[in-house]
Amino acid sequence: MLRCPRYGDGARLYEAIRASLPELKPWLVWVQKSLDTEGYEASLRQAASRFLVRQELRYLIFDATQEILLGSTGFHALDWRIPKAEIGYWIDTRHAGQGYVTEAVEALTKLGLNVLGFRRIEIRSDALNERSHAVARRLNYQLDGRLVNNSVAADDPSCLRDTLVFSRVS
């Protein structure tokens, strides 16, 4: 189940991120400064506001009962002139390896291409993050290229990293 963030989701988001910090820190810059429950609640309110004006379409991933927050995904780096977007995602470590991210990204890809009319959807991944780019490959995203030394490691600003860029186009 994917849905826009709502008031009250902050505590569940905090718990999912806290449980997954060791696995998320190498890849995600925003995880380096972990927030408290209130901080995540405020972040989700901002995400919901950006969702309403179509600046960013962030979704929370829940189990079928909508009781357990599994992770987050969404369309980022939106450019409505083309239109195109980038899909980002992460999963609570306690629920990793069960296909939830692949299922969520597949749903977003269909939404983006078939409903929102995106002409291009990208997935960008640190070249060392095998699990992340495996999602893109499973969903038949094409590898457009490798951007050499274009970012710093999320957990080590002194270390340059390569980024793989995958895409689906219509």
For the segment 96-154, what is each residue's pLDDT rounded down to a tens digit? 999 999 999 999 999 999 999 999 999 999 999 999 999 999 999 999 999 999 999 99
Does the pTM surpass 0.85? The reply is yes
Number of structural domains the chain divides into: 1
- pLDDT at residue 66, rounded to an integer: 86
Mapped onto helix, strand or coil, the DSSP state of residue 8 is coil
At 166, which helix (H) or strand (E)?
A: strand 156-169
- The CATH number of the domain holding residue 86 is 3.40.630.30
- pLDDT at residue 34, rounded to an integer: 73
pLDDT in tens, 11-62: 999 999 999 999 999 999 988 887 788 888 999 999 999 999 999 999 999 9
Domain span at 126: 2-169
